[in-house]
Structure 1
């Protein structure tokens, strides 16, 4: 029999009882941050559920993990704790269970309308790494910058390429993004351009949130790596393409990326995503043994990007992609990250890199969609080569189940002018 909550959940909701993603929120201005899960149009306050003694399993019974201002302590406890919490919450929210359903006072305290809360960063991010795991994106970028003869470097098919990003500039959905300033490539014998970026872009990505880490010097086995991943968020790794193009040789991205990265507020767990697991693409050549998985899987997550141009009321869908286009899997990314002995820690964020599909409408950034500005996008009577001040970008992601969705909500940000 299908799971059903005593809380009415609209069929189109991203947050039915089958999902129960985790976030951190303030129920009212000035109140303390606390963990919650999304259920329909409500946030369930986990600090209240814990205070009422309803987390009564052996792992969570005496834990203060839901009294923290972020999810790091809970995530560090590992998969057994996550499974216990999920089973407890699905039981409490079930229409057959009276403990919460029939306790009006506790319902009043613990169920907060989602439109009343302030969502915060759900984790304290210690480190942020951004991968480059979509073959279609790698091929398109290589063709744009190096030509079609050899668009993807040989190493790309052997190692999950990545760079270390900037954890301090990770912001929650709804935060404005200030247009960065920096240098651009000189033309002819002139000095480099300096000023506001002229090629500001979005990147459609997802991010894996690390749960338990690993000791320094002790890599994570690729077949155990899923136990180190708490869940996924939507991620927009905003990019200043002109700054990036001038600086990235020889050491890679720096100021073109570090000015802002937006994540969605809700972390969807791997347990909630498991019904939507699908085979990952066949990898040729076969990966080295430390990256060879017994089961190599992605998830069928439909992804979409909308742009609302400055001064307009309506958004336009510019991208429809899918998480299943990733060439390197989440678990391969994490295993490769640790193979040199690097220690990951709870709350670390691993971005997938831009997720582009094979068709033009599935390209995951304006660099690809406009082919570096050569083919402007038509948007509600205006056009865009890259983002202009006042433009708002919204990412969404959703898995379609049998009569329910497992979704991520939205990940949005608006571009505001550069500081003088």
Structure 2
């Protein structure tokens, strides 16, 4: 199920794409306020007959991959048709619509590969201070967007429980001498990110990759992304090859892909528009590369038994406390989504439809804008106080992490809804 609380994110100006089911098999869908519209049913009823190049039955697929790979003009034509017919929901076939509370959401695309970048200068500086007491970014940071290859096999849709991972880490309870132990993670964290979903595939056969100025042709849209992180496991395995099991156990994405057409009015120049070094040609951008996306993260948790403070949950969260933790903005990312695509393909890498590219943690420079607990707790050295007075250093079993984002402001009518996951105990 998906919460109806975000109806205002899904106006006629948004019209995202996802995969949903109710009484039938999963198929491509969109959302208008709290109504899910099944696009396969609309296509079968003839709504898109005046778009002759739209392949028959494509919107009845259980993933968006085939549709996402279509040329941008076809996407624009489908969007325009939807904006014209959805002004009167009552005129649609009855079996083409459902309330969001009765629809089941699925992974929107079959994910071919997952690459996670680290595009926020604020994040790398905050994390550097927390871990090494040194805010200096990695040597290559100002030259190209740095990243690593993640695990596509454990990317899950919002609402899927996340099992606390087990692995090897230093036993901080007995720091001297350093002892490596194996067991359930003791430093489980979230990372508030955006995910870029590749639409049009790219085959590296021309002898050069995609330039940043051409990269948007290959981007279908954006999702919210929670790159769950086991900080203790990650800390031991990072040197010399980077993260593996500290990240591989789960990545959550929101169910609705917000298209580049819906995002376009919210373009802004990011801090990287004034480079610190001379960029190579394929990374140079001629127009604003970032979007004004305001992102937030909350921890939903059992209340303190003696507390009457905090934000009381209702509905499915009745009896729990909702604690806002951070608000940040993607407009502050140093590297853009187009530069991510350009850098990844510059070395000879192909792109496949459904590839997922993470921006890395979206963070600000001040308290209350940090996109992960590693930053907020100064590397686990100080607790974060929640709304009811309880504290967290890292996540506890039963904690629910909810991320959300809007374009510009709450009144824009364009948002992402929610990206949510609950921590379950480690398998014994």
Counterpart residue number, 2:306: none
2 CA distance for matches of 1:201 and 1:402? 27
Deviation at 1:375, TM superposition (A): 1.6
In the alignment, structure 1 residue 93 sits paired with structure 2 residue 93: no
Deviation at 1:258, TM superposition (A): 0.3
Deviation at 1:62, TM superposition (A): 4.0
Counterpart residue number, 1:337: 344
Counterpart residue number, 2:65: 72
1 CA distance for matches of 2:201 and 2:52? 19
In the alignment, structure 1 residue 193 sits paired with structure 2 residue 181: yes
Counterpart residue number, 1:259: 249
CA pair 300-112 structure 1, distance change in 2 beyond 3 A: same
Matches within 5 A, 1:179-328: 179-185=164-170, 187-218=175-206, 219-281=209-271, 282-310=274-302, 313-328=320-335
In the alignment, structure 1 residue 111 sits paired with structure 2 residue 97: yes
Deviates more, 1:75-84 or 1:393-402: 393-402
Cα shift readout 1:95-122 (whole Å, capped 9, x = no counterpart) = 5xxxx6435xx1x111111110110000
The answer to whether the 8 Å contact 1:283/1:327 transfers is: no
2 CA distance for matches of 1:332 and 1:237? 20
Deviates more, 1:77-86 or 1:228-237: 77-86
Deviation at 1:60, TM superposition (A): 4.2
Counterpart residue number, 2:14: 19
User: What RMSD over aligned residues (CA atoms) do the two structures have, in Å?
Assistant: 1.8
Secondary structure of the 1:256 match is: coil
Secondary structure of the 1:372 match is: coil
Which ranges in structure 2 are unaligned for 5 or more consecutive residues? 304-318
Deviation at 1:58, TM superposition (A): 3.8
2 CA distance for matches of 1:235 and 1:58? 33
Cα shift readout 1:149-191 (whole Å, capped 9, x = no counterpart) = x621221110110100001100111111100000112533454
Counterpart residue number, 2:382: 375
In the alignment, structure 1 residue 164 sits paired with structure 2 residue 149: yes
1 CA distance for matches of 2:179 and 2:17? 49
Counterpart residue number, 1:362: 369
2 CA distance for matches of 1:190 and 1:317? 36
1 CA distance for matches of 2:410 and 2:234? 43
Q: 2:405 aligned to 397, 407, 412, which one?
A: 397
Counterpart residue number, 1:385: 393
Secondary structure of the 1:226 match is: helix
Cα shift readout 1:66-86 (whole Å, capped 9, x = no counterpart) = 021100000011211111110
Deviation at 1:61, TM superposition (A): 4.2
In the alignment, structure 1 residue 50 sits paired with structure 2 residue 43: yes
Deviation at 1:393, TM superposition (A): 0.4
Counterpart residue number, 2:136: 151
CA pair 387-359 structure 1, distance change in 2 beyond 3 A: same
The answer to whether the 8 Å contact 2:115/2:147 transfers is: yes
CA pair 389-81 structure 1, distance change in 2 beyond 3 A: same
2 CA distance for matches of 1:57 and 1:345? 29
The answer to whether the 8 Å contact 1:11/1:403 transfers is: no
The answer to whether the 8 Å contact 1:59/1:81 transfers is: no
Counterpart residue number, 1:121: 107
Deviation at 1:309, TM superposition (A): 2.2
Deviates more, 1:43-52 or 1:307-316: 307-316
CA pair 61-309 structure 1, distance change in 2 beyond 3 A: closer
Which ranges in structure 1 are unaligned for 5 or more consecutive residues? 1-8
Cα shift readout 1:34-69 (whole Å, capped 9, x = no counterpart) = 010000110111011100111124454443210211
1 CA distance for matches of 2:225 and 2:63? 18
The answer to whether the 8 Å contact 1:310/1:389 transfers is: no
Deviation at 1:217, TM superposition (A): 4.0
Counterpart residue number, 1:416: 424
2 CA distance for matches of 1:418 and 1:10? 31
CA pair 185-111 structure 1, distance change in 2 beyond 3 A: same
